Structure 1
Amino acid sequence: MSIINLAIVGVGKIVRDQHLPAVAANADYRLVAAASRNAQVEGVANFASIEEMLATVPSIDAVSLCMPPQYRHAAAVAALEAGKHVFLEKPPGATLSEVEDLAALAARKDVSLFASWHSRYAPAVEAARAFLAGTTITSMRVMWKEDVRQWHPGQDWIWQPGGLGVFDPGINALSIVTRILPRQVFATAATLEFPENRDAPIAASIRFTDAAGLDLEAEFDWRQVGPQSWDIIARTQAGEMVLSEGGARLSVDGRLVHGEPEQEYPSLYRRFAEIIRAGRSDVDLAPLRHVADAFMLGRRKVVEAFHD
């Protein structure tokens, strides 16, 4: 396959901000179609549904699914059944079981499925992974706090069941943690704060450990105003590691050791092309599993109503 004919489904803010520029800059792809109920992409064929798009444009090789997670499984099944490779925006689905179902279907159809975790491709993540692999970690603190009104204005789906609430950004932190730690961790306790008028949490705190007794705590909050916080701090025998700005900068004992411009979505699309050409899938469910565990273990705390 020389050029991958790509279609995008669900044309919202993340598509315009990240997907379209990344695809346009990558010679591996030709954007040929889009499907969305409420928006269109200039210069390509546009459709109201993925079913209409797949029936009308048989030349599509791959589909990027960027609608809210509650609606992604049915669209992914349609694409996979049609023999198309599928890119899943994060989180890859509303439940673990439905994503496992998609992975099994992709294997039966001999096509590639990519559960994308864009924060894993932040520029300093691999440097942090290498640093932690060479030392002993004594504790880790994850602080992912942002203003939901800034990043998700008027998006009701994130407050509905399956929308994940504060775990929509929090899962980005978990995708980094599960990449950089040398051992698997598991949740031991959690508190989830639900606004009295919403069905998804606005804040969460989770405690984790591993087989060696690691002390790990994550704090997610959507009520932060002013500067936003996307930081992972690890105390180690080699010094204090700070992975900041969502994985863009790595410092050890206050000294910057890695920092490069952000290239998350271009990296995702390079990876997608790579697995398509290799005839493989890339479906790591560890971040979503941790969210599911937090809901299973979490103590529910009702807080004041949230109004956008």
Structure 2
Amino acid sequence: MANPIRIGLVGVGKIARDQHLPVIGASPDYTLAAVASRQGTYDGVPNYRTLPEMLAGRHGLEAVALCQPPQARFEAGLAAIEAGLHVFLEKPPGASLAEIGLLAAAARARGVSLFASWHSRYASGVEPARRWLAGRRIRAVSIAWMEDVRHWHPGQDWIWETGGMGVFDPGINALSIATHILPPFFLTGATLSVPENRQAPIAADLRFTDAAGTPIRAVFDWRQTGPQTWDIRVETEDGVLVLSRGGAVLTIDGRDQPLPPEAEYRGLYDRFAALVRSGASEVDLNPLTHVADAFLRGERRLVEAFTD
């Protein structure tokens, strides 16, 4: 087995504690060398406030995972690339399409790997769904991604700021799955519900189509309490496929399909290790393109103020 990749992590928040740090700690492909975070710490490794401080501390770093809010990703990503490190970007990979394009160009020039990760694509049912849909005629698609922002993002003001994406922070997970399992599609219209005291939407109603004229509708809402909804329903000429629980459950014509255990972030880190060792990059911007199109083409509708 190749030597473990010495990786640093930037941003010790909820997603880092829940997913990144446990997976890195359990993987034979990595050694956690250091972390950097303005608000959190992690026991057992050197801790720094900023990425530049962590880079100055050396530690033989070979790669870095960036888990801070997307508004801060470009500066950190560029600094890591210029230091010769391979870069893993938590989703969404950045606050704009153009900045990620610049990071990809910098990574190519420096000869390091850049990975724009989409964890929902590694949900257990996604790849089987993609294989089943391949070559089948799709008649209609409906996506419902509804959850309680107070539960999943308590006190996180950055998600409501410009570049924070609001309800598209979870909604982009649905788009990452849809762009992986469906033929290419494009936005035809959107309504974005924006709280009067915030910059980013709390809900979105999106209409898409593809080259064959297939109707595709996606509804994202952060105001749902009780059971949470993460479903994609695809009607085809051969039956109805449903991905539910964010891709963890797959049914075809109402029958549950056998799936492997959940391992989204393990799949991401396995893929990143393979990219690093092969000298390749993977930067798919299709999910973020659809979000950008929604902001470009969507109608803004003011709704009641949101308070956490």
| TM-score after normalising by structure 2 | 0.98
Partner of 1:87 in structure 2? 88
Partner of 2:61 in structure 1? 60
Shift of 1:38: 1.3
Partner of 1:184 in structure 2? 184
Partner of 1:233 in structure 2? 233
SS in structure 1 opposite 2:257? strand
8 Å CA contact 1:127–1:258 kept in 2: the answer is no
Query: Aligned partners of 2:58, 2:180: CA distance in 1, in Å?
Result: 37
Q: Does 1:251 align with 2:262?
A: no
Q: Does 1:262 align with 2:279?
A: no
Q: Does 1:40 align with 2:45?
A: no
SS in structure 2 opposite 1:227? coil
Tell me, which stretches of 5 or more residues in structure 2 are unaligned? Answer: none
SS in structure 1 opposite 2:150? helix
8 Å CA contact 2:116–2:283 kept in 1: the answer is yes
Partner of 1:164 in structure 2? 165
Query: Aligned partners of 1:109, 1:269: CA distance in 2, in Å?
Result: 22
Shift of 1:41: 1.0
8 Å CA contact 1:122–1:263 kept in 2: the answer is yes
Shift of 1:238: 1.1
SS in structure 1 opposite 2:283? coil
8 Å CA contact 1:204–1:219 kept in 2: the answer is yes
SS in structure 1 opposite 2:306? coil
**Offset from partner CA, 1:43-96 (integer Å, 9 cap, x none):** 101111100110111500000000000011000011000000000000000000
Query: Aligned partners of 1:240, 1:267: CA distance in 2, in Å?
Result: 27
Tell me, which stretches of 5 or more residues in structure 1 are unaligned? Answer: none
Q: In structure 2, give the amino acid aligned to 1:272.
A: F
Query: Aligned partners of 2:187, 2:117: CA distance in 1, in Å?
Result: 23
Shift of 1:25: 1.1
Shift of 1:262: 1.6
8 Å CA contact 1:248–1:260 kept in 2: the answer is no
8 Å CA contact 2:209–2:215 kept in 1: the answer is yes
Partner of 2:221 in structure 1? 221
Q: Does 1:142 align with 2:143?
A: yes
8 Å CA contact 1:35–1:47 kept in 2: the answer is yes
SS in structure 1 opposite 2:55? helix
Instruction: State the Cα RMSD in Å.
Output: 0.8
SS in structure 1 opposite 2:246? coil
Shift of 1:258: 3.4
**Offset from partner CA, 1:237-271 (integer Å, 9 cap, x none):** 11111110000111011101133332100110000
Partner of 1:154 in structure 2? 155
Shift of 1:17: 0.4
Query: Aligned partners of 1:58, 1:7: CA distance in 2, in Å?
Result: 9
Partner of 1:20 in structure 2? 21
Q: Does 1:198 align with 2:214?
A: no
8 Å CA contact 1:249–1:260 kept in 2: the answer is no
SS in structure 2 opposite 1:91? coil
Residue identity (%): 60
8 Å CA contact 1:233–1:240 kept in 2: the answer is yes
8 Å CA contact 1:193–1:202 kept in 2: the answer is yes
SS in structure 1 opposite 2:173? helix
**Offset from partner CA, 1:200-255 (integer Å, 9 cap, x none):** 00000111111111110000000000000000001101111111000011101110
SS in structure 2 opposite 1:258? coil
| TM-score after normalising by structure 1 | 0.98
